[in-house]
């Protein structure tokens, strides 16, 4: 089915507002950071910037990847990550999963059910109920397979930004399997987000009001002329586009009327003409016999829409504002305004906004670095991608993400995940440390994973990847790995490289802890001592940051 | 005098304000945790010198038991005196003769497998509150659970117990620098319940105590010392405490200290035998933690399996087993508490997200309904049956009409047991039901 959608309209917004550096708060005594989106100078670019970009725009890079991206310079690095269509990736086929597990009942089945109920045929009613329950059980199994499939994809993709943005849209247009109970609808929605990951936000908004999972989640299939359901209309403005305070209760009521009849059958969107309210409406200042597309167009014309989306992208990639730290919060306001203008100037194309952001001076300012809490996905996927651990068991990893508060395909509410510091509490901190322990060693609460012996962590590859001399990825002859008696100075270099790579920076305290660790291991940098050192590093509170 | 030496100062440790501000260290860590940790923990919490409010009980504990899935209220507290009950439930109704009677003139009685609760009732330790619900009942498990957890009929916002902690337990907001004690609320389960999540307060949640620790020590025992050094340092000297790194370092310290205390507490053997079920296992842990003197005010446990759409049984069967587990666990819990002298400190409240429909369905089960009874247990409760049993004939499309808003029960617990400002915590004014008398 092809959906005819209008082009996103040109917003009424005027040109970009200029950053106002003068109003910045200096009373803290901290130098406010640059709010400039001008490209970062090549001479400011290096290892730490490459590492930062790989974490924020993706899920972290391996030691070798960080060095490679550092050597590219900012322009090539950002292009490679943002213009990922040139990077070959595995295609996702529509038939990757069974779409018929929760198919609607056929006419014959419905007739049989009606007959059984009429006749009081309890055996038949019970049989039909059992069939339904069996389908639900199988479907829950498929949902679990999809969770693992997506997690694997995040781990293996050569286009990390694509998966990161797909996850972002999943949290933004949050829809939970818990309510809709049709795994294929979740899969279809996931493909929709991936298709438009860095594409056009306007297009995504037109498509989301036609998405079966979303329609089911927000009850729009029950919304018809005369008794509209306001759920979708409300969230469409409050959470998906404009943000609270940028529309009225009347806009919700009228918007809900515009969305009446937007329903689905099986896996396809259907427009139920008879249920649609064709009357006059007034939404966000526009009059007419408005339908769902007109409603979306009215939203996209509002400057608040671009601001809201720019703000969410900023929180995803840059800083979880408001942070309570004026040296970040003030410039952030200006940057978000500039990003919103860029979004508008590009008629809601997301890619140019991200390109500009990732290239900007602002993005690489010191207080921005290592200040973001890793999401559970970043913890798990990032461990495999950056430390090069075995994946071990996708089921265990999925469960751990759930315990850390991010059960993919099951966001806690239509608001999605709050993120930032809310990921962290005393319980989730242990899970975060322990899942790293599992990935590095196979350790489980009850012992070791069955494959822990055969799937060992390649500590040698990790260490040699850290060395500038190991540019080729091979094991340099002068590697301190397994060499007897490296000097204290050599040891110190290894520790410094390890901390700079894993934590983004070394502190005297952390450095000392690792030095003592290696000395206690007889000054050896070998399989055992490196794995143990990584267990300590990943238990450091700073490891939760990226 | 060394201001960090609390050895001779235990009463101070249990004042509420001290508990919130720095009680983690004062109340229990001081005895078990080396001095340097006390210092670093103190450095990050409220200033010393806060005093207690006279006459306010400081050591009261609330245990919340969540019966998840929608417990069938009509087969829990059975209106055996009404023929409409037997008419609506021809195969799953509990025969009047088998119902555990609650007194001569009482037209309701307990499920025959609730002998544990009957025992508490006979000792005046059980309040039965009939017909509890809320307006415009929602029949979705998740939504209705959220409504009970948030104490808001839209089911959105923070949890009611979380707000209790946010509000310093008595209605005064926390100072910006003050931080609720992480051990204030402990939930046993995979996830911390919404009810305990505040704007500021985050409860501790763990499924079993073995998981509430770092596994790296099990790989290499030599890592224990450096690990402790990493997590117990608190906010490192070279770290700005306002940064996220500072926040993480504080949390790591909290986690480590809580982990030590909790695992030590639950490693004790219970003083009585508990039945072998999941709720009993959780309550035994709670009892051990109370016995160990953790400064925890609220514990949260859960028993699942109440979504009995099919084959729920009557006097025997699936629902009956759940009743046995529930009543038996609670009775053992109070025996245990009494054995270590803490029973008078502990109030237990049970609830479920909804009751079930009056009529049984074609599968010998019941579908999602509305109002149901709540139980409050403990030596401090007014023993007896309270509220009004909803009519079985005057229904709202097949469902019971509630008589008491659940937030009135919360209000009574907050006011009469937790000495909290109920209006503030519940973000609204509810007539407090008087179910506690011996506070």
For residue A413, the chain B residues in CB contact (below 8 A) are: 156
Residues sharing a CB contact under 8 Å with residue A423, sequence separation 6 or more, in sequence order:
A373, A374, A375, A376, A404, A405, A406
Per the domain annotation, does B128 fall within a domain?
A: yes
For residue B245, the chain A residues in CB contact (below 8 A) are: 370-371, 541-542, 545
Per the domain annotation, does B382 fall within a domain?
A: yes
Enclosing domain of residue B279: 62-168+267-426
Per the domain annotation, does B296 fall within a domain?
A: yes
pLDDT in tens, chain A (546 residues): 445 555 666 555 443 343 443 333 334 446 779 999 999 999 999 999 999 999 999 999 999 999 999 999 999 999 999 999 999 998 998 899 999 999 999 999 999 999 998 998 888 888 988 898 899 999 999 999 999 999 999 999 999 999 999 999 999 999 999 888 999 999 999 999 999 999 999 999 999 999 999 999 999 998 999 999 999 999 999 999 999 999 999 999 999 999 999 999 999 999 999 999 999 999 999 999 999 999 999 999 999 999 999 999 999 999 999 988 899 999 999 999 999 999 999 999 999 999 999 999 999 999 999 999 999 999 999 999 999 999 999 999 999 999 898 999 999 888 899 899 989 988 889 999 999 999 999 999 888 998 888 899 999 999 988 876 544 344 445 566 666 678 888 899 999 999 999 999 999 999 999 999 999 999 899 999 999 999 999 999 999 999
Residue B110 backbone dihedrals phi, psi, to 5 degrees: -90, 150
- CATH code at position B322: 3.40.720
Alpha helices, H only, B89-237 = 115-122, 141-150, 160-166, 216-219, 224-232
Q: Which of A366, A427, A449 to mutate to test the interface with B (most CBs of B within 10 A)?
A: A427
A 10 A CB-CB count for A467 gives 19
Q: Does the distance separating the beta carbons of B363 and A427 come in below 8 Å?
A: no
The reply to whether B86 touches chain A by the CB within 8 Å rule is: no
Burial B99-117 (b: 16+ CB within 10 A, else e): bbebeeebebbbbbbbebb
Per the domain annotation, does B149 fall within a domain?
A: yes
C-alpha distance across the termini of chain B, in Å: 36
pTM of the model: 0.80
Q: Does the distance separating the beta carbons of B191 and A403 come in below 8 Å?
A: yes
* Among the partner residues B210, B212, B248, nearest to A427 by beta-carbon distance: B212
Per the domain annotation, does B249 fall within a domain?
A: no
pLDDT in tens, chain B (439 residues): 333 322 323 233 333 333 333 223 222 332 233 222 332 333 222 222 222 333 344 689 999 999 999 999 999 999 999 999 999 999 999 999 999 999 998 999 999 999 999 999 999 999 999 999 999 999 888 889 999 999 999 888 899 999 998 886 654 445 444 556 777 889 998 777 999 988 878 788 888 887 789 999 999 999 999 999 999 888 888 888 889 999 999 889 988 888 988 999 999 999 999 999 999 999 999 999 999 988 899 999 999 999 998 889 999 999 999 999 999 999 999 999 999 999 999 999 999 999 999 999 888 899 989 999 999 999 999 999 999 999 999 999 889 999 999 999 999 999 999 989 999 999 999 999 999 986 5
Q: Does the distance separating the beta carbons of A125 and B362 come in below 8 Å?
A: yes
Q: Which of residues 128-187 of B touch A (CB under 8 A)?
A: 140, 142, 156, 182
Q: Which of A541, A542, A544, A545 to mutate to test the interface with B (most CBs of B within 10 A)?
A: A541
Half-sphere CA count of A454, side-chain side, radius 13 A: 3
DSSP SS3 for A244? coil
Measured CA to CA, the distance from residue B373 to residue A274 in angstroms comes to 45
Half-sphere CA count of A36, side-chain side, radius 13 A: 7
Q: Does the distance separating the beta carbons of A509 and B236 come in below 8 Å?
A: yes
DSSP SS3 for B376? strand
Q: Does the distance separating the beta carbons of B310 and A325 come in below 8 Å?
A: no
Per the domain annotation, does B335 fall within a domain?
A: yes
Supply the pLDDT for residue B270: 94
* E strand or H helix at A67: helix A63-72
Closest CA to B407 of B201, B152, B195: B152
- ipTM summary value: 0.90
For residue A507, the chain B residues in CB contact (below 8 A) are: 236, 238-239
Measured in angstroms, the CA of A357 and the nearest CA of chain B are apart by 22
Measured CA to CA, the distance from residue B251 to residue B214 in angstroms comes to 14
Query: Which tokens in the block code for residue A440?
Result: 């590095």
Q: Does the distance separating the beta carbons of A520 and B216 come in below 8 Å?
A: no
H helices, E strands: number in chain B: 16, 12
Q: What angle do CA B58, B62, B67 make, to 5 degrees?
A: 175
Report chain B's C-alpha Rg in angstroms: 23
The reply to whether B201 touches chain A by the CB within 8 Å rule is: no
Per the domain annotation, does B345 fall within a domain?
A: yes
Measured CA to CA, the distance from residue A78 to residue B265 in angstroms comes to 53
Measured in angstroms, the CA of B226 and the nearest CA of chain A are apart by 7
Cis omega (within 30 of 0) for bond into A249: no
Contact B102, B89 (CB under 8 A): no
Please state the domain count of chain B: 1
pLDDT tens digits for range B330-381: 999 999 999 999 999 999 999 999 999 999 988 889 998 999 999 999 999 9
Per the domain annotation, does B228 fall within a domain?
A: no
Supply the pLDDT for residue A3: 52
């Amino acid at each position: 089915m092809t959906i005819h959608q209008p082009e996103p309209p040109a917003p009424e917004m005027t040109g970009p507002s200029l950053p106002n550096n003068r109003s910045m708060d200096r009373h803290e005594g901290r130098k406010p950071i640059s709010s400039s989106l001008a490209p970062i100078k090549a001479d400011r670019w290096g290892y730490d910037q490459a590492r930062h970009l790989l974490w924020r725009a993706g899920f972290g890079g391996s030691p070798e990847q960080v060095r490679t991206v550092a050597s590219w310079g900012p322009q090539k690095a950002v292009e490679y990550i943002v213009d990922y269509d040139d990077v070959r990736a595995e295609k996702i086929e529509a038939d990757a999963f069974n779409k018929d597990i929760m198919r609607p009942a056929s006419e014959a089945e419905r007739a049989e059910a009606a007959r059984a109920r009429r006749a009081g045929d309890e055996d038949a009613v019970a049989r039909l109920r059992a069939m339904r329950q069996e389908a639900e059980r199988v479907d829950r199994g498929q949902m679990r397979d999809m969770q693992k499939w997506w997690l694997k994809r995040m781990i293996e993709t050569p286009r990390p930004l694509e998966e990161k943005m797909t996850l972002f849209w999943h949290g933004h247009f949050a829809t939970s399997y818990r309510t809709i109970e049709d795994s294929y609808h979740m899969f279809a929605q996931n493909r929709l987000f991936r298709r438009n990951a860095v594409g056009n936000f306007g297009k995504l908004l037109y498509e989301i009001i036609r998405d079966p999972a979303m329609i089911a989640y927000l009850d729009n299939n029950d919304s018809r002329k005369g008794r509209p359901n306001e759920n979708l209309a409300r969230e469409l403005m409050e959470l998906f586009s404009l943000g609270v305070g940028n529309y009225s209760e009347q806009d919700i009521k009228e918007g809900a009327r515009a969305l009446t009849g937007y329903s689905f059958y099986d896996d396809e969107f259907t427009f139920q003409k008879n249920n649609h309210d064709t009357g006059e409406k007034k939404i966000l200042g526009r009059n007419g016999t408005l339908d769902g597309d007109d409603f979306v167009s009215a939203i996209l014309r509002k400057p608040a829409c671009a601001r809201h989306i720019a703000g969410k992208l900023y929180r995803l990639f840059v800083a979880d504002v408001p942070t309570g730290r004026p040296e970040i919060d003030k410039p952030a306001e200006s940057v978000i305004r500039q990003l919103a203008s860029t979004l508008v100037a590009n008629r809601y194309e997301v890619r140019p906004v991200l390109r500009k952001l990732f290239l900007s001076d602002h993005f690489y300012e010191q207080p921005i670095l290592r200040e973001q809490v890793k999401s559970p996905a970043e913890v798990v996927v990032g461990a495999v991608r950056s430390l090069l651990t075995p994946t071990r068991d996708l089921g265990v990893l999925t469960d751990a993400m759930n315990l850390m508060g991010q059960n993919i395909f099951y966001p806690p509410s239509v608001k999605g995940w709050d993120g930032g510091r809310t990921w962290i509490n005393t319980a989730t901190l242990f899970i975060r440390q322990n899942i790293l322990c599992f990935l590095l060693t196979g350790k489980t609460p009850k012992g070791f994973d069955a494959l822990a012996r055969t799937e060992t962590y390649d500590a040698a590859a990790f260490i040699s990847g850290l060395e500038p001399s190991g540019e080729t990825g091979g094991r340099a002859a002068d590697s301190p790995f397994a060499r007897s008696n490296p000097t204290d100075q050599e040891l110190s270099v290894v520790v410094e490289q390890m901390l700079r790579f894993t934590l983004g920076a070394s502190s005297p305290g952390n450095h000392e802890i690792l030095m003592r660790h290696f000395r206690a291991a007889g000054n050896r940098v070998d399989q055992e001592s490196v794995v143990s050192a990584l267990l300590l590093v990943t238990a450091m509170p700073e490891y939760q940051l990226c | 005098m060394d201001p960090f030496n609390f050895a001779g100062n235990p009463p101070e440790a249990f004042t509420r304000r001290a508990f919130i501000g720095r009680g983690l260290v004062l109340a229990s860590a001081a005895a078990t945790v080396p001095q340097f940790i006390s210092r670093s923990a103190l450095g990050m919490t409220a200033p010393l010198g806060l005093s207690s409010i006279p006459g306010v009980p400081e050591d009261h504990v609330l245990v919340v038991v969540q019966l998840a899935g929608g417990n069938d209220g009509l087969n829990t507290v059975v209106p055996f005196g009404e023929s409409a009950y037997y008419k609506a439930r021809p195969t799953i109704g509990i025969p009047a003769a088998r119902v555990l009677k609650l007194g001569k003139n009482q037209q309701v009685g307990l499920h025959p497998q609730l002998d544990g609760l009957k025992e508490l009732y006979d000792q005046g330790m059980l309040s039965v509150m009939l017909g509890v619900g809320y307006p415009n009942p929602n029949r979705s498990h998740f939504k209705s659970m959220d409504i009970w957890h948030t104490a808001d009929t839209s089911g959105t916002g923070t949890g009611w117990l979380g707000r209790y902690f946010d509000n310093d337990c008595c209605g005064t907001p926390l100072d910006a620098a003050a931080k609720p004690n992480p051990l204030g609320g402990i939930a046993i389960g995979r996830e911390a319940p919404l009810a305990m999540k505040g704007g500021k307060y985050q409860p501790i949640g763990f499924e079993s105590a073995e998981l509430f620790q770092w596994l790296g020590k099990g790989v290499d025992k030599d890592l224990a010392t450096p690990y402790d050094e990493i997590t117990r340092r608190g906010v490192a000297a070279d770290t700005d405490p306002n940064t996220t790194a500072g926040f993480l370092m504080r949390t790591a310290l909290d986690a480590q200290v809580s982990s030590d205390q909790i695992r030590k507490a639950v490693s004790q053997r219970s003083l009585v035998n508990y039945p072998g079920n999941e709720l009993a296992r959780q309550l035994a842990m709670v009892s051990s933690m109370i016995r160990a003197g953790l400064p925890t005010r609220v514990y949260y446990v859960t028993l699942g399996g109440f979504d009995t759409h099919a084959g729920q049984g009557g006097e025997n069967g699936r629902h009956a087993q759940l009743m046995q587990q529930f009543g038996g666990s609670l009775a053992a819990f109070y025996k245990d508490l009494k054995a270590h002298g803490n029973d008078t400190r502990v109030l237990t409240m049970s609830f479920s997200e909804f009751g079930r429909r009056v009529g049984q369905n074609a599968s010998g089960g019941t579908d999602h309904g509305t109002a149901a009874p709540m139980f409050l247990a403990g030596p401090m409760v007014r023993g007896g049956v309270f509220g009004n049993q909803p009519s079985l004939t005057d229904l709202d499309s097949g469902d019971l009409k509630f008589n008491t808003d659940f937030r009135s029960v919360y209000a009574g617990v907050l006011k009469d047991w937790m000495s909290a400002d109920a209006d503030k915590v519940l973000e609204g004014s509810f007539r407090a039901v008087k179910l506690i008398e011996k506070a």
